[in-house]
Structure 1
Amino acid sequence: MKTFYSVLLCALITVMSFGQEKNETKKDTTKQKITKLDEVIVTGNSKNDPVLTVVANKYDEKIVQPKNVADLFNNINGFSVIKRGNYAIDPSFRAAQYEQLNIQYDGGTKAMHACPNRMDPITTHIIPEEISKIEIIKGPYTVRYGATFGGIVNLVTQKPDYEDYGLHGKVSAGYESNGNSLVNLAQLQYIKEKYDIVANAGYRDFGNYEDGDGIEIPSSFRSTDYGVKIGYNFSDDQRLQAHWRQSFGRDVLHAALPMDTEYDNSSILSLDYKLDHIGNVVKYLTAKAYYSYVDHLMTNDNRPSFMMMEASSAVDATTIGGKLELNWIPAEKLNVFSGLDAMHIARDGGRTRLVKIMNGNPLQMPMTFNDKVWQDSYITDIGVFTEAKYSISPKSIFTAGIRYDNVTSDIQDPEADFAEMYDLEKRTEHNVSGTVSIKNRVSDNFTLEVAYGRGIRSANMIERFINHFTVGQDPYEYIGNPNLKAEVNNQFEIGFKGRIPLKNGFDSFSYETSFYYSFFENYIVGVIDPSISRKFNPTLDPTSVKVFQNIDESYKTGFEAMAQVDFLKDYYFKTEFAYVYAKNKDLNESIPLTPPFTTKLSLGFQKEKFWGNIQYNLVSKQDEISRSFGETETAGYQTLDVRFGVKPIENITLGVAVINAFDEAYNNHLNFSFTNQADFGRTPITEPGRNISAFLQYKF
């Protein structure tokens, strides 16, 4: 890894020096063109964009309610969220989640969680209001952004307005009635010809919410965030940018996890560089380097188990990565992207237990035990890739890409019982993935896309090295397996979208749909092993454990569809559908965390000064479940959301919303169950009841 980053630094210095010599020309007094960094994946260029993409944007323009992470994904077709409370929220897309999704910031920056129960996923380390848009590649249809199994999610942060020099900014405040929750954000930007600075700070204070039956759900948290982004333009064609952000979570209650978060501190630093317009064949070079550190402490101080055992767990995670990419055009119709990237994840930390009662008997002298959580482990992935786009015709693009990943993993401080189970030594895997696709713009109003991708994901650190910890939706202790084979996703997809002009008061009819099929190799699941007994609280049920294993036969298939009618210039009616069916043939059951069939119906309007919509959400019963994962059937439900925004005067935006207007009592199928809570059995956590919110933003 040190060699890779030395090469990255040398290359960065070399191209910066080259660019300065090349571009030492006299500048005029007009505003210069800004070289755009590769922070986004979807650029609006049909010749460069990946196939089968979705862009959810206008978060910063059409704000009508305070945002938490779930709000960013709930309204994107095909997405669900996995909730353990109101803070630890993971997105799920087409029944792919966690490391099966390649989630990143600004085209490649990553921050991996420290907690084995995912109290602190990547989505908790950024201010939701800072997100300007989310880009999704629906499958392993590009090799340029790291190893990808089920798709890419790129969270794009807001950028400076390069067209408006000087000092500008915005302040905003929001309130939610359900939980008496407050959010605040302040942002300043200063833009000059040679440099620009953007700084923001936010504070969030969420209380316990009530579900539709008026039951209070322990889910409060506080978080403070700030960030600074500094860019410097060496020339019209050369830019360097640094981005530093920190997030501090405090007193986080997790309704569906055995412990709560005392603090969760994260720091993320990223450097981005681009040299553009290099020559006739070599077009541009980009470089990225990033570092993140997460420091996490969890305890059971306010849980029923505290009377029998005091537990605290201090864990940390370090993520270091980088990327070099060269864009070159060897022939008129051939556009090639080649490069290398790397990511190193290291985790350590332990749990201290003060046992007061053992086997049902109080101890006169409580006993202290120290458990190794991550066992000082790491995973390093170094990849090389090439992706080529060939213009078959002015309207047809053929894309082919291939990628090789060298994945090294090791455990440096194993527990004795874990070392007895396996022959532990440093392991190296060689993964080859690839993709081919065709995008054909048949006419100005119809586009057809067909793709195949082979995505490969090596086992994550939980699946490799966890040792007798409860990390699933069920109460089983899980044991990792350092010998797991990498998961393979062979995904086929066809999608089309179009627009039909209409008459008689109707402006147009637009539609979009995708159908996909995936068959998996070496899919990783936790399988019950009755030969191994529970390590902690051995008399509790279940007394056996689960060990992560590869299964041979599994697949999933499904579709998303959207249709929208625009009428009377400013009005629209839209309907969206999402369905996925996933099967574990080895165990003859569904793959875990498969969402039910979902329908959304929206009626709204978009005017210059005000906008609004009513959305009716219909979620079907889910009886295709994974009983081995601890899932239970989930009833269907319907909710209604109303949103309205207005600009009463220039630079001020006011939004109001009523979420779950009917005060429906329900739980999402992907929600984890209440765990170690005094007043709740082990049932899935319920969602918030009626929630009235207001949001005010002022730009200057």
Structure 2
Amino acid sequence: MRSARRGFWILAVYGVINTPLWADDQPMLIEVIKPLPVSAAESELNLNQPLAPAADGGEVLRDLTGVSGSRMGGRGIDPVIRGQQQNRLNVILDGAYIYGACPNRMDPPTTYSAAESYDRVVVLKGNHSVIYGPGGSGGTVLFERERPQFDAKGYRGKVSAGYAGNGESSTLVADLAAGSDRGYVRFIGDKADAGNYEDGAGDEVRSSYETESNALMLGARVADRTWLEGSYEQVREEDVLFPGAGMDSPYSDADTWRLKLDHQPQGSSIQRIRAEVYRADIDHLMDNYSLRPAGMMRMAAPTSSDTLGGRLLIDSYIGGHQLQWGVDHQQNNRKGVRQMVMPSGMRMDVSDLWPDVTIEQTGLFAEVKHYLLADSWLKAGGRLDHVTADAKRTPADDDASENNLSGFLTWNQRLDDRFSLQSTLSRSVRTADATERYIDAGSWQGNPDLDPEIHQQMELMLSADAGRFSGSVSGYLDRVDDFILRKNNRYSNVGAQLYGIDLELAWQLDANWRLSNGVSWVRGTNRDDDTNLSQIPPLTATLALDYQRDAFHAGGDWLLVSQQSDVCLAGSDCGGQDLQQTPGYGVVNLNAGYDITANLSVDAGIDNLFDKRYSDHLNREDLLGNSVQVSEPGRNLWVRMSARF
């Protein structure tokens, strides 16, 4: 069932509802109907529920308030949170950082996260924690798997199959597990393929792909309060087309190993110890001739990205303080060349896209939470990161070393039994990535002398939880020193500023009907020359209405996006990546489902009901200097059958 971003349009229907937002004269209804509190700073999706077809994790995330995504093709939706993207977001897949192997970001980390192969995804917007690694100024995305639980029969399983008419895409997912309270084995397989879809005008969009992922997980309780768990996961992508690029991807292969130790001491101030290590290796190829008509000049770009990392996290309770502290490390190596392919098949290297770049980061961190009174608490955290960057295939000495200090302070005050106020001050530091430092793609050049970005943020959030109604509104300001700006395909440090508002509301109208909505707006400016930052999503709002009774549920959402005129156009004086000012649009989606039995369900829906032709404002600029806003799919009818045992 499609999760919806919400809109402020609840105000338009308020007049037709006879009961106030929180009615003291309806105590029985309030006791029975209690929606979960919603937060403008944190979102969570249960990925075990039936989902509308999604090409990858990035497309799933776009349904959340404050999260957008740039489309280059049928897959590879690159998430944007509060106007920040790429390595300004920490994306963690079951404890592992995975950095894509394409300089053009055909494969952002969310590409390797088949949504139904995880149990839930948590999005932390802004900077409110230091335990998930350095940076993360825009937010943190956690795709998580949970340890399976078993009843007396000792096994469980889920199988689902889905089909979408626009593009004739099909998916097949199996999640099988067996075990007991002493150990388990779990296998998750996900296979999907899609053809080219049509946009709302009936034009075909080159967007086909094939992808398969398989994950094997083993766990054993090696002591009464100690678990050891390991996993191996592979993702294989083939023949992925990208209309928003001058190249396609014949293959992209990822292999990830994880090992986790979870120990809970007894009778100690230390409550939990978690040790995790992982390795992720990705090989990627893009070219301009295998999957499209070859032009005068055949080009290919084989690239790789290998990441090794780990974390030690300790939970303690000392003197009335909740304390989390530990150390983490990650090492990423990226290699890539741009090649000219001769008619004979011989390849000649033209340039090093990534000249054997290794970036290492080691961090020490701690955060503590203390309850001041019954109605207020204070949370503070800090981390120190040592960063080194090294490129082995550059003529000059382009190595770099940094020591970066980050931290935050959050105060939460409950005003009464309905409202609470939370304020956060934070500082986060992001080092320049391999592309920003070292890329060599002709007119697109890196800068090894970049300083790290320093984000200084302030956020104020008001939350309400009043029986049938819950909501949250958050305003934030991010003042950035040494913002790493891509201008006319060159990188430099400038002063920047981002500010915006997120709003989330949920209203249980009666025992069956639920209305929910939200708003997201962000603005970004270059403080040095007072121009707009490019690739900032426009004002977005969605209204959703859901109905559930016994085994039947149905719902609809109305997505409204305003025009985006605050742009920095490619080729203009500000030298941004925006292709054009983008008009606004509205899209309606419907869904319904029925539980045939306790273990068998069917869900169906229509996305883009009125077959609207539209494109998201966010676009990409590829290695060849092409900028394209790829049209979103037109009307799409889908169905999914799910069985559990």
Distance in structure 2 (CA, Å) of the matches to 1:674 and 1:455: 29
Contact 1:84 1:673 in 2 (8 A): no
Contact 1:511 1:564 in 2 (8 A): yes
AA aligned opposite 1:657? G
Is structure 2 residue 541 aligned with structure 1 residue 626? no
1:602 equivalent in alignment to 2:544: yes
Contact preservation (8 Å) 2:518, 2:541: yes
What's the CA shift string for 1:305-328, capped at 9, x where partnerless?
Answer: 833112222111100000112222
Q: Return the alpha-carbon distance in structure 2 between the equivalents of residues 278 and 620 of structure 1.
A: 55
Aligned mates of 2:279, 2:548 — CA distance in 1: 41
Q: What is the aligned partner in structure 2 of residue 211 from structure 1?
A: 199
Is the 8 Å Cα contact of residues 674 and 684 (structure 1) preserved in structure 2? no
Q: Which residue of 1 aligns with 2:240?
A: 252
Match for residue 497 of structure 1 among 463, 467, 478 = 463
Contact 2:351 2:440 in 1 (8 A): no
> How far apart in 1 are the matches of 2:432 and 2:474?
28
Q: CA deviation at 1:688?
A: 0.4
Contact 1:139 1:453 in 2 (8 A): no
CA–CA separation in structure 2 for the residues paired with 1:585 and 1:162: 56
Moved more, 477-486 or 585-594: 585-594
Name the structure 2 match of 1:665: 613
Aligned residue type for 1:629: G
CA distance in 2 between partners of 1:646 and 1:674 (Å): 44
TM-score by length of 2: 0.89
Aligned to 2:366: 386
Match of 1:126 in 2: 113
Q: CA deviation at 1:349?
A: 2.9
Structure-2 residue corresponding to 1:695: 640
Q: Partner letter of residue 239 of structure 1?
A: W
Considering only CA atoms, is the larger Rg found in Structure 1 or Structure 2? 1
Matches within 5 A, 1:549-564: 549-551=492-494, 553-564=495-506
SS at match of 1:123: helix
Moved more, 93-102 or 319-328: 319-328
Aligned to 2:19: none
Asked if the contact 1:150/1:455 (under 8 Å) is kept, the reply is: no
- How many residue pairs get aligned? The number is 602
Q: 2:387 aligns with which of 407, 429, 433?
A: 407
* Counterpart contact for 1:65–1:657, Cα < 8 Å: no
Paired with 1:673 and 1:689, the residues of 2 have a C-alpha distance of: 24
Q: Verify the 8 A CA contact 1:478 1:526 in the aligned structure 2.
A: no
CA distance in structure 2 between the aligned counterparts of 1:232 and 1:615, rounded to whole angstroms? 43
8 A contact 1:64–1:645 mirrored in 2:
no
Offset at residue 62 of structure 1 (A): 4.1
Among the aligned pairs, what percent are the same residue?
27
Deviations 1:182-208 (A, max 9, x none): 100112100212101110111100110
Supply the distance in 2 between the matched residues of 1:286 and 1:682 (Cα, whole angstroms): 44
Q: Do the aligned residues in 2 keep the contact of 1:255 with 1:675 (CA within 8 Å)?
A: no
Out of 558, 575, 592, which is 2:534 matched to?
592
Instruction: For 2:622 and 2:105, locate their aligned partners in 1 and report how far apart those are by CA, in whole Å.
Output: 15
2:91 matches 1:144: no
2:494 pairs with 1:547 = no
Greater RCO structure (CA 8 Å; 6+ sep): 2
Alpha-carbon distance in structure 2 between the residues aligned to 1:400 and 1:351? 46
Deviations 1:317-375 (A, max 9, x none): 100000112222220x211112110000001132320367xxxxxxx999944432211
The corresponding residue for 1:180 is 168
Q: Where do 1:275-674 residues align within 5 Å? A: 275-302=263-290, 306-331=294-319, 333-354=320-341, 368-414=348-394, 419=395, 423-469=396-442, 477-501=443-467, 508-528=468-488, 546-551=489-494, 553-627=495-569, 628-631=575-578, 632-672=580-620
Deviates more, 1:600-609 or 1:174-183: 600-609
CA distance in 2, matches of 1:548, 1:143: 27
After TM superposition, the score normalised by the length of structure 1 is: 0.82
Q: AA paired with 1:626?
A: C
**Residue deviations 1:509-530, cap 9 Å, x none?**
22211111110000001234xx
Counterpart residue identity of residue 395, structure 1: D
Instruction: Tell me by how many angstroms 1:483 deviates.
Output: 1.1
Question: Structure 1 regions of 5+ residues with no counterpart?
Answer: 1-45, 357-363, 470-476, 502-507, 529-545
Q: Is there any run of 5+ residues in structure 2 with no aligned partner, and where?
A: 1-35, 570-574
Stretch moving more, 269-278 or 205-214: 269-278
Measure the CA separation in 1 of the matches of 2:327 and 2:274: 11
1:310 to 1:394, Cα distance in 2 relative to 1, 3 A: same
Closer, same or farther: CA 683–293 of 1 in aligned 2, 3 Å: closer
